Amino acid sequence: MAKDYYETLGINKGASKDEIKKAFYKLAHKYHPDKKGGNEAKFKEVNEAYQVLSDDSKRSKYDQFGSGFENMGAGGFGGQGRGFEGFDFSGFQNGGADFDFGNLNDIFSDFFGGNMGGDRTQTRRGRDISTEIQISFSDSIFGVNRKVLITKTSQCMTCHGSGAKTGTKMETCKNCNGQGKIREQKRTIFGNIASTKICEVCLGVGEVPKEICETCKGKGVLRREEEISISIPAGIRDGEMIRMTGAGEAISKGATGDLYIKINVTPHPIFKREGNDLVMNLNLKLSDALLGIKYPIQTLDGEIEVTIPEGVSINEILRVRGKGVPIGKNKRGDLLIKLNIKLPSKISRKAREVIEELKKEGI
């Protein structure tokens, strides 16, 4: 139904700006919803008419493309459906509530400069999803393959995404004649605007199955539990994120989203990571520190024997080459062993005698 803004305000087409203003004030006063006997719907109509007719450029466009302009009025946008994500119409559609049409021009420029005027046939893409997994410290150092079960929209295994019943063929989409997109002309206050949108029947493919797959009801995708194998690289750090391209949610006739996996590493009771080196503390007896000893140590690679040279001091660090974090293919960081000499808190009488002897030796 075409709106006649002149009729709404009860004026004729040649009305002056002053006449428009007067008519608006009179009617706005009459229909104001806060007043007893007010009429919100009428008030909105009056306001809408005034916003257009009081603006010279809008008025002339309205005079030229009356009905086209009307289509763009509140509610006219709503039916457009897809393609307006991220664009908030609420302010416009509820414009009558607060009568703020100040951003009308912005809305129009967004509308035509962005989604509407452009080609709306960009690739459909499934959602990105994320999950977390916990791995041991050792697995974080050497890498590991893990499998996870994720319930998500995935490609249909029966039809492999085609949506067609096995053994049946595809046929040209009648809605778009196989073009995959539909051109539409819109008459607007800015003239005729051509836009292209994805065909809603074939979703841009141009073909539809003759008979649809029963498993997915022709969608090519369905929600199911999928086992995903994740290859966690050697040397990954706690909190690092792995991105698996195409392992996210599938979408009918579109690209699959990505899967992000956050890796949580369980701390190790002995080893800590410092860059590409592993660090551990080793408590030595005083006599071992003085005389030197061979010491068995459990590393992440299994047991090794380290030689503690005689006369080591507190906080000295022994470096075991190549027992740290893998760097690339053939290189590894080192294992650093921080020596701590444990002094006895109590000594026997005999030990005291011996130490007295050591003292005489100047030790």
Nearer to Zn ion, 176 or 278 (CB): 176
Nearer to Zn ion, 199 or 320 (CB): 199
In the region spanning residues 200 to 219, those forming contacts with Zn ion, defined by CB under 5 A, are 201-202, 213, 215-216
Among 9, 20, 135, 159, binds Zn ion (CB under 5 A): 159
Element (H, E) at 286: helix 286-291
Nearer to Zn ion, 136 or 158 (CB): 158
Segment contacting Zn ion by CB under 5 A, of 72-80, 110-118, 152-160, 268-276:
152-160
Which pair of tokens denotes residue 185? Answer: 């002309």
Binding characters for Zn ion, 170-189, by CB under 5 A (x = yes): ---x-xx-------------
In the region spanning residues 64 to 123, those forming contacts with Zn ion, defined by CB under 5 A, are none
| Smallest distance from Zn ion to CB 165, Å | 8
> Residue 48 has what DSSP assignment?
H
Residues 147 and 275 sit within 8 Å (Cβ to Cβ)? no
Contacts of 56 (CB under 8 A, 6+ apart): none
Nearer to Zn ion, 46 or 213 (CB): 213
Element (H, E) at 335: strand 335-342
| Smallest distance from Zn ion to CB 119, Å | 16
Nearer to Zn ion, 187 or 224 (CB): 224
| Smallest distance from Zn ion to CB 258, Å | 23
Residues 155 and 250 sit within 8 Å (Cβ to Cβ)? yes
Does 52 contact Zn ion by CB under 5 A?
no
Please return the burial class of 213, using the count of CB atoms within 10 Å of its CB with bins 0-12, 13-18 and 19+: buried
C-alpha–C-alpha distance, residues 213 and 68, integer Å: 42
Does 156 contact Zn ion by CB under 5 A?
yes
Does 196 contact Zn ion by CB under 5 A?
no
| Smallest distance from Zn ion to CB 183, Å | 12
Segment contacting Zn ion by CB under 5 A, of 62-70, 100-108, 192-200, 281-289:
192-200
Does 158 contact Zn ion by CB under 5 A?
yes
With contacts defined by CB under 5 A, how many residues of the chain interact with Zn ion? 12
Structure-token match 């579109």, residue found: 254
N-terminal to C-terminal alpha carbon distance within the chain: 107
Nearer to Zn ion, 136 or 175 (CB): 175
Go through 29-41 and write b for each residue having 16 or more CB atoms within 10 A of its CB, e for each that does not: eebbeeeeeeeee
The pairing of strands 277-285 and 335-342 is: parallel
Segment contacting Zn ion by CB under 5 A, of 47-55, 85-93, 169-177, 282-290:
169-177
| Smallest distance from Zn ion to CB 198, Å | 8
| Smallest distance from Zn ion to CB 197, Å | 11
**What is the arrangement of strands in the sheet containing 335-342, beginning at the earlier edge strand?**
272-274, 277-285, 335-342, 317-320
Binding characters for Zn ion, 215-244, by CB under 5 A (x = yes): xx----------------------------
| Smallest distance from Zn ion to CB 168, Å | 11
Cα dihedral 207/210/211/215 (nearest 10): -10
C-alpha–C-alpha distance, residues 343 and 355, integer Å: 13
Segment contacting Zn ion by CB under 5 A, of 28-36, 167-175, 183-191, 302-310:
167-175
Amino acid at 204: G
Helix axes 40-53, 56-64, angle to 10 degrees: 100
Residues 165 and 90 sit within 8 Å (Cβ to Cβ)? no
Does 199 contact Zn ion by CB under 5 A?
yes
Does 46 contact Zn ion by CB under 5 A?
no
Segment contacting Zn ion by CB under 5 A, of 74-82, 194-202, 331-339, 350-358:
194-202
- What residues make contact with Zn ion under the rule CB under 5 A? 156, 158-159, 173, 175-176, 199, 201-202, 213, 215-216
